Each structure stands twice: as structure tokens, then as C-alpha cells.
Amino acid sequence: RTRIGRILATADWSYFYTPYDPADPVAGPGQLRGGVWTDTEEPTPHHYGALNTEPRMASYLGIADGSLPRDHYWHLLRTMLPEHEQEQKPGGGYVTVDGVRVWNGHYTHRGRKVVPTWGGSMFEALMVPLFVPEPEWSPRAWGLTHHRYVRAQIDHGLREAEYGYWGFSPSNVPEGGYQEYGVDALGMAVDGYASNTDRTHTTDGEPLPAPSAFTNGVVTPHASFLALPYAGREAVANLRALERDFGAYEDGLGFRDSVNVSTGRVSDFMLALDQGMVIAALAQQLRPGLLQRPFR
């Protein structure tokens, strides 16, 4: 905790922050920039607007240390505003919290209300709660949506695409390269992250593509590890199936990064980020709350 504290003490999250401007909320959204170019020191033109994505970790840290205003949290998007083009027409309504008018939106997947991510991937939703006890602090909001998000990923893999396996998140393409994988219907972006290399997308209000359309489906083990707190039995069964059916686990090293469950091709690589999520998820299962102590 002391070492982490020394690192965080040098951070100033306001460096990335654009203050909210009610006269022009597009130019002044009250959100964090995507980054800053090191050669010109100019910020990137985009902001991280979606709440249910991994950059909310920086939002939590900045609000906690006072470098970001508390109302920054309410300027992050649960869904895009209903008049904007997005993957699904959202349900919900406006509420006022701490003086901020918030579109309290949600998507619906197979009858379940869920807060979408940007692309529909597992790590966007579930990497942050490895370090922040969101389900404990907000059981009726984060607690519900995390469980439902995992259930939606399971349903997509087993019922919609009928891969026989599930767990979709950016990973190595087994045949080579890197790609964002996810469940398209769980992301705000129109034609967001697909669960297969061939990018079979779904369209809200239209029939789902036939399972045969989801060719070259790619499952990544780290997604199952992230799901352990929310669907433990299913996650373990899924990992065992990946090891049993594809030999995706290598003694002394762990799981390979991804599997093409349509062809059986297993990735030749292990990616450091994904292995880090695996290790962190296991630490949380074996020592609940261990990685959340520094944040508390």
C-alpha cells in the first residue's frame, strides 16, 4: 500500500480532464481525454465518455484524491443520450443527482436490463472491480449489472452463437494479430466488438443471425477469470472445457491467450495484460479484497 501510495501521490488526473461547460457540453463534457501526445503535448480530440469502461478507474482515483470534481462521475454516460445513434435504443429516464441532470439509461439483453460498455467486451466491464469494490458499494447498480453482463456473455456464447464456449474480450487472434472481441449487443458503439474474427454483428430489433453465421468465434480465457465472482461454476466449467477440448492450458505457463472455437486453433501467445487480469482475478478469489485494500 505504501508503494502504491507513493506512485499515486505524483498523479494529477486533472491533466486529462475537460471541465463541464453547460453552454457547450460537446466541447466541455466534464470527462477525461483519451490521452496527450508526448511530442506536441496536445490532447487527443476524444474523451472517454462511457461509464462502464476501464477508464473509470482513473475517474475513481481522481475523485478520491480531489484532483477531479465529484460531479465528473455523473457526466459519464450510462448509455448515449436517447436521441443519439447507438447500438440499441435505450430505456431509462432523466434523474438529477448532486445538481447534475443525468440520463439514467440502460440496454436490454434477453429480457435483462444492463449498463452497456463501449464495445461489449468483458474486460471493459470487469477489470475495474478487481480493484474497486463496486458490487459491495453499489449492490443494486454495479452489483446487478456486473452479474447480468456476465450472464449475457454466457448466453451469447452458448445460445445465440452456439459456440459451446463463452468469454469475449480483446485478445490475440489465434491465427495472428490482435482484435477487439465482445458481444456486439452489449456495447454502445454501432457495430461494436463482435465475438468472431469475421465480425458478425447484430442489429437491435432485427432477428439474430443464425448460429452458423458466427464463423471463427474467438474465446479468451481471461474473460472467464474476470467472471469468477459473478458466475463461478460456469467460469470454471468453461475453462476446463477450453483445456479439455483444445489443450489451451500449458503446464508451468497457464492458459494461452485465445482459442478459435470454430477451428480449434489455439493462440501461440500469452499477452502480459491478459495474464495480469488472470493473476489479479485469482488473487481476488483466493484472498477476497486483497487487491481492493489500497483503494479502500
pLDDT tens string 115-154: 999 999 999 999 999 999 999 999 999 999 999 999 999 9
Asked if residue 267 has pLDDT above 80, the reply is yes
Report percent pLDDT > 70 for the chain.
Answer: 100
Closest C-alpha among 278, 146, 165 to residue 219? 165
Q: How far apart are CA 202 and CA 194, in angstroms?
A: 9
Which residues have C-beta within 8 Å of that of residue 85, sequence separation ≥ 6? 190
Q: How far apart are CA 256 and CA 172, in angstroms?
A: 9
The alpha helices in 156-268, defined as continuous H runs, are 221-226, 232-246
Q: Residues 211, 151: contact at Cβ < 8 Å?
A: no
**Torsions phi, psi of 15, nearest 5?**
-55, -30
Q: How far apart are CA 114 and CA 144, in angstroms?
A: 8
Closest C-alpha among 130, 148, 146, 127 to residue 138? 146
Asked if residue 237 has pLDDT above 90, the reply is yes
Asked if residue 6 has pLDDT above 90, the reply is no
Residue 57: its pLDDT value, please? 96
Q: How far apart are CA 114 and CA 185, in angstroms?
A: 11
Rounded to the nearest integer, the mean pLDDT of the chain is 96
Q: Residues 142, 129: contact at Cβ < 8 Å?
A: yes
User: How do residues 52-72 score in pLDDT, each as one tens digit?
Assistant: 999 999 999 999 999 999 999
Q: Residues 188, 117: contact at Cβ < 8 Å?
A: yes
Highest mean pLDDT (candidates 2-6, 73-77, 285-289) = 73-77
Q: How far apart are CA 270 and CA 255, in angstroms?
A: 8
Stated as kind and residue range, the H or E segment containing 276 is helix 272-286
Query: How do beta strands 29-33 and 47-48 pair?
Result: antiparallel
Neighbours of 47 (CB within 10 A): 21
Residue 294: its pLDDT value, please? 79
Residue 25: its pLDDT value, please? 94
Angular region, 98: left φ>0, alpha ψ -120 to 50, beta rest: left
Over residues 92-112, mean pLDDT: 97
Quote the cell numbers at residue 159.
445460445
Residue 222: its pLDDT value, please? 99
User: How do residues 10-40 score in pLDDT, each as one tens digit?
Assistant: 889 999 999 999 999 999 999 999 999 999 9
Residue 2: its pLDDT value, please? 79
Report percent pLDDT > 90 for the chain.
Answer: 94
User: Reduced to 3 states, what is the DSSP secondary structure of residue 257?
Assistant: coil
Buried/exposed 236-257: b ≥16 CB within 10 Å, e otherwise: eebbebbbeebebbeeeebbbb
What is the set of domains in the chain, with CATH numbers?
A: 1-78 (no CATH), 89-292 (1.50.10.140)
Q: Residues 1, 295: contact at Cβ < 8 Å?
A: no
Quote the cell numbers at residue 79.
448509455
Quote the cell numbers at residue 204.
437491435
